[in-house]
């Protein structure tokens, strides 16, 4: 990928409004766009403004998707600053995420794992990302 590419992680949910509110509050994201009845799909796109990544949550009218297929479906955010990491963990709980033990113990050493109401998980890793 060349510079200028944008990453969008998209997934379905049966609770688009509630999930969007959780992620907006928990990750301090902004609603960037919403769509309604786009060929039977409704959705919301969230992310930090002016950053090359965002999340999209969709729901298809008349279709149920259920919960996450495994406990190891993760979004991982690396937060090296102690104060930012602590504030982010607090926001996740206030947004309705549940603190859960990580399925993979690697994430427990320096992070906390949170589960949304669909069973999908977010790890807030208190570390800088390096190769």
Domains 7-60 and 74-125 share a fold: yes
What residue spans define the domains of the chain?
7-60, 74-125
| pLDDT tens string 40-66 | 999 999 999 999 999 999 999 999 999
DSSP 4-20: T--EEEEEE-S-HHHHH
Q: What pTM does this model have?
A: 0.94
Tell me, what's the pLDDT at 103? 97
- Could you name the CATH architecture of 74-125? Roll (3.10)
Tell me, what's the pLDDT at 130? 87
Put residue 29 in one of left, alpha, beta given phi > 0 → left and psi -120 to 50 → alpha: beta
Question: Domain 7-60: which CATH class?
Answer: alpha beta
Residue corresponding to tokens 């149920």: 64
């Amino acid at each position: 990928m060349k510079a200028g590419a944008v990453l969008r992680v998209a997934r379905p949910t049966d609770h688009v409004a509630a999930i969007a509110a959780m992620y907006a509050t928990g990750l301090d994201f902004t609603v960037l766009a919403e769509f309604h009845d786009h060929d039977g799909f409704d959705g919301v796109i969230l992310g930090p403004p002016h950053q090359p990544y965002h999340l999209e949550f969709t729901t298809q009218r008349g279709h149920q998707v259920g919960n996450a297929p495994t406990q190891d479906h993760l979004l991982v955010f690396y937060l090296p600053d102690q104060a930012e990491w602590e504030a982010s963990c607090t926001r996740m709980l206030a947004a309705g995420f549940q603190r859960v033990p990580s399925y993979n113990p690697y994430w427990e050493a320096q992070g906390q794992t949170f589960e949304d109401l669909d069973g999908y998980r977010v790890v807030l890793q208190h570390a800088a990302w390096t190769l």
